[in-house]
Structure 1
């Protein structure tokens, strides 16, 4: 079973996300989260998917793209670090990523399928990481980080945004 990372394994910025992952079976949490995201977005109308809870906030489509993009990036970082690559990995600007998407021509179902594909790739990647490799450390965005911290960031980041959907978007 994947163990929760110690605080010295990641930048304190990521505590917001890691704290979202409960104690227990990480893989089950990730699967339950996938099921929740599918249930939430699968029957969403295109009109609702364009909802913003404030003028300067992302639409639900953009939010789903952001969750997907972030999981792709964090999975890539996890792969590199778990495999022993100590090359410093760059950060990314989430706002530039969103500004350069084509969410307006893709349906919410297309975006959900993309998320599902990325999550399935994450599940597959997790099975290829040796137990001893979870503690491997590298550098990302100029900060040390472990492979297992990245796994927890993936789950916690998605959970953080699910919480935002429930408290901000679905209340609007």
Structure 2
């Protein structure tokens, strides 16, 4: 499935900025492209910036990266539930609770890269297993309907959004 095939009524408008960051590409190709490129981006971050926050009260770079990984895990779980036709509405998650509990102060760059690759490879394997009909399935998360496909594209757009923020405000 390509981004252009994604209907706006299959996800909350909150996620539109993430979808807007994506070119009209096929989902699995985009997931693979990002797993090939994003670790290189992480590696390029200067070590002295690793625990840097551009303003008091803002996350550090390592916290942003761990947030990306946490969110991908949550979106992946939602996609699995919806694809398997589990109709149980899923709650939201409070990213502001996750970040301070991510143990970021103890995380090294190579460790974060390995974890990112493992999570993304798992995402790729999951989405590769879905048929077109699975991608179109809808579930309820955070009081909004979401399709399996939308969750895949949101994963990609969310990562791209935070990469852009790191480039613009941290580096």
Provide TM-score, normalisation by structure 2.
Answer: 0.93
User: Is contact 2:2-2:24 (8 Å) kept?
Assistant: no
Output one character per residue of 1:65-107: Cα deviation in whole Å (capped at 9) or x when no partner: 0000000000000010011111100100001000111111121
- The residue aligned with 1:24 is 25
Q: What does residue 93 of structure 1 align with?
A: 94
* Whole-angstrom distance in 1 between the partners of 2:12 and 2:42: 31
- 1:154 aligned onto 2:155: yes
Could you tell me which residue of structure 2 aligns to residue 53 of structure 1?
54
What is the alpha-carbon distance in structure 2 between the residues aligned to residue 40 and residue 26 of structure 1? 20
Tell me by how many angstroms 1:11 deviates: 0.9
8 Å CA contact 2:73, 2:119 repeated in 1:
yes
State the distance in 1 between where 2:69 and 2:123 align. Answer: 11
Q: Distance between the aligned counterparts of 1:120 and 1:9, measured in 2?
A: 25
Q: Match for residue 66 of structure 1?
A: 67
Give the paired residue count: 170
Match of 1:37 in 2: 38
Cα distance in 2 for partners of 1:169, 1:143 equals: 32
Is the Cα–Cα contact under 8 Å of residues 2 and 148 in structure 1 kept in the other structure? Answer: no
If the length of structure 1 is used for normalisation, what is the TM-score? 0.93
Shift >3 Å, 4+ stretches: 1-4, 43-46
Query: Aligned-residue CA RMSD in angstroms?
Result: 1.4
- Paired with 1:87 and 1:146, the residues of 2 have a C-alpha distance of 14
8 Å CA contact 1:64–1:112 kept in 2: the answer is: no
Instruction: Give unpaired runs (5+ residues) of structure 1.
Output: none
Q: Which runs of 5+ in 2 are unaligned?
A: none
- Structure 1 stretch displaced more, 44-53 or 74-83: 44-53
